[in-house]
Amino acid sequence: MEELILGIDLGTSGVKVGILDVASLALTHIVFREYDNSAEQDTDELLGMTLDALKESISAVENKENIKTIGLYRNKAKNVMKMARILVDEYGGEVPNSRAALQSLPGVGRKTANVVLNMWWQVPAQAVDTHIFRVGNRTGIAPGKDVDAVERAIEDNIPADFQQHAHHWLILHGRYSCKARKPLCGTCLIRDLCQYEDKYIP
């Protein structure tokens, strides 16, 4: 069934497997872009999938009942299947390497496009999520009133040599140290550089 949906032979190797790898990166970001711990764990697990596990996940997405616990699961399932078809039919099985083309795909916004550009195409694009937005503004590293402003501030303020991995470091810092409710300022390694005035030091 999954071969029919995607229009490719999932059992082959080479470029077609590469297509699935990058598609899974984009698709898991679309499907699991919630910010609670369970969603983060699910995303991490799916990004490390074997090909057989990915084949099973495609079938699971097609069966919307299997992803009912995910917010807006009906729309996300539709977008996953539409995207897979478009990648094969309109892009010859190649995932596009431009932000505009990526954002033309169903369910893909600027953040997801930046994730694919960064992780697959090695473009130092900054996918600003809730953690990066918070860390950027609290610390003064990348202040901005909206995600676009924070994205531009990261590009302006972080040296080019570090931009490829900057959004990973900022996400992890926001997730585990600079938390939303009770940031761990007392153990933060950059608290002397941080501009946050209401540091939480128990």
Alpha carbon separation from 38 to 52, 85, 171 (Å, rounded): 23, 28, 16
Run of H or E including 26:
helix 15-31
Distance CA 193, CA 140 (A): 9
Among candidate residues 36, 68, 129, 179, the one labeled active-site is 129
Q: Virtual CA dihedral for 13, 4, 50, 35, nearest 10 degrees? A: 130
Residue 168's φ and ψ, nearest 5 degrees, are -65, -45
Tell the burial category of 11 from Cβ atoms under 10 Å away from its Cβ (0-12, 13-18, 19+): exposed
Residue 179 is among the residues annotated as catalytic for this protein: no
Among candidate residues 52, 111, 146, 198, the one labeled active-site is 111
The three-point CA angle 118-112-73 to 5° equals 145
Residue 82 is among the residues annotated as catalytic for this protein: no
Q: Which active-site residues does the annotation give?
A: 111, 129
